[in-house]
Amino acid sequence: MTSKVQSLKDFLAGQGRIALVEVAGTKGSTPREKGAFMLVSREAIFGTIGGGQLEYMAIDKARQMVASLPPRKPGKEARIEVDEVCATLDVPLGPEIGQCCGGRVEVLIRLVDIDLAKELVAAAEAEEAHLPHVYIFGGGHVGQALASAIALLPVHGVVIETRAEALEGMPETVETRLTPMPEAEVRNAPAGTAFAILTHDHALDFLIVAEALKRDDAAYVGMIGSKTKKATFRNWFLKSAEGTEAEFARLVSPIGGDAVKDKRPQVIAALAAAEIMTALVVHNAAPNADRPHDRVMAG
């Protein structure tokens, strides 16, 4: 598994001179919120502040600042000693720059030195430590597609399987776990976890869902299947698993809803990912000002 923190570290270590481009303030409608940032080197970009002309202007300014620095010697990092180490852009998002958001964005651009690089990594580690977890039980066609979908989201994804071959080819940023007892993973999951259950075995699905519904701190419990499968599970859950109607009512099945009549794995995964992300935001979200990277960057 390659974490997003490791990707940040690799960029900072491998791109030579770098500038940090950060949204320092916003008014009205804007593409990204305060605290959103990107890193810009002579040849590469890490992250985004929302795209469009605003981002292009910020990239141009950042690269002008980077170009003013002497090349960094491999294995060494000197203190930056140039005239311009910080710049601010105050950009109205209107017709004059080809954007129609209508708001205004203040962008802070800073050259990255040793101390700022450490701050960025520390902030990323703090943010990653607070990411909500998504447990996907089953690495079949839908499981693979769902793993690929959540790999793009600000979550810690975990795919759990009883079959080693089903874990092959998973996205690098998604954790994989091979276990003969996947239902046991539910008990050790962090509070606020979203559980998506879609194994190759209906009986195993039922065991995992029953464990998940016992977690009253779960953000989401979803099971792939039909109305018939859900009804069969309800009958077993209430009569044999000592479940309650209140617990059963928290089950989302089929995952992704039934408004779109399309059973292709990629479509189910896209709908389920949106459903899961919505549940996580409602259950776990904190105000933007409280995100770890905002607190560190402001310091």
Q: pLDDT by residue for the chain (299 residues), tens digit each? A: 778 899 999 999 988 899 999 999 999 888 899 999 999 999 999 999 988 888 999 999 999 999 987 666 555 554 444 455 788 888 887 776 766 767 889 999 999 999 999 999 999 999 999 999 999 999 999 999 999 999 999 999 999 999 999 999 999 999 999 999 999 999 999 999 999 999 999 999 999 999 999 999 999 999 999 999 999 999 999 999 999 999 999 999 999 998 888 999 999 999 999 999 999 999 976 444 344 444 344 43
Query: What's this model's pTM, rounded to 2 decimal places?
Result: 0.82
Q: Which residues lie below 8 Å from residue 149, measured CB to CB, with a gap of 6+?
A: 269, 270, 272, 273
> 272 and 142: one domain?
yes
Tell whether 67 is covered by a domain.
yes
Determine which helix (DSSP H) or strand (DSSP E) holds 106, and give its type and residue range: strand 104-111
Select from 72, 99, 127 the last residue of a domain: 127
Tokens of 296: 């560190």
Please state, in angstroms and rounded to a whole number, the distance separating the CA atoms of residues 117 and 122.
9
Tell whether 205 is covered by a domain.
yes
> 103 and 68: one domain?
yes
Tell whether 77 is covered by a domain.
yes
> What is the extent of the structural domain holding 9?
4-127
What DSSP letter does each residue of 2-67 carry, written as one string?
--HHHHHHHHHHHSSSEEEEEEEEEESS-SS-TT-EEEEESS-EEE-S--HHHHHHHHHHHHHHHH
> 256 and 140: one domain?
yes
Select from 127, 154, 183 the last residue of a domain: 127
- Phi and psi angles of residue 162, each rounded to the nearest 5 degrees, phi first: -100, -10
